[in-house]
Amino acid sequence: MNAWPAFIGLGANLDDPAGQIERALGAIASLPLTTLVKRSALYLSRPMGPADQPDYINAVAKVDTGLPAAELLTELLAIERRQGRQRCADQRNGPRTLDLDLLLYADLVSHEPALTLPHPGAHERDFVLVPLAEIAPRLVIPGRGRVSELLAGCIDHGLCRYDPPATVATAAALAG
């Protein structure tokens, strides 16, 4: 099987966002002809759209896949729907249970209406670049440059590493 590297951005701010991201990573790892190679830590960021919504949890995953780019995107959209995502044309950048973006697929550049690669805006968003730099600091975004160098000019969304709150069981285990 020929496998190509692809990078997927994950974001959520409704219905247990950290859990939504973890479930999505499991679903991505289960896709046909696809191996989850690496995933970033979780990051907390302010919303890019309307301010009257909860903060986002974000991450980036690297996969090796034998699926063509368009088919991988179709699978990602299906995962979103299974996890309760309802796309509304009038609610761009609004709150969501899950957002899966195909950021990069090998070195493919595409300007098709259904598939734009690299993902527009990925090169200037901290909630994409910081997790990308964590798992692939030497990665080059075609037409934009090396991830590590793009970080200097990215938009600040108040990004910080997210450590899920300890549960009572976890706290008890740590104390004992």
Q: Which domain does 82 fall in, by range?
A: 4-175
pLDDT at 175 over 90: no
Task: Return the active site residues.
Answer: 85, 96, 99, 101
Domains in the chain: how many in total? 1
Task: List the CATH number of the domain containing 54.
Answer: 3.30.70.560
Average pLDDT over residues 81-94: 73
- Secondary structure in 3-state letters for the chain: CCCEEEEEEEEECCCCHHHHHHHHHHHHHCCCCEEEEEECCCEEECCCCCCCCCCEEEEEEEEEECCCHHHHHHHHHHHHHHCCCCCCCCCCCCCCCCEEEEEEECCCCEEECCEEECCCCHHHEHHHHHHHHHHCCCCEECCCEEHHHHHHHCECCCCEECCCCCCHHHHHHHHC
pTM: predicted TM-score of the whole model, two decimal places: 0.90
pLDDT at 160 over 60: yes
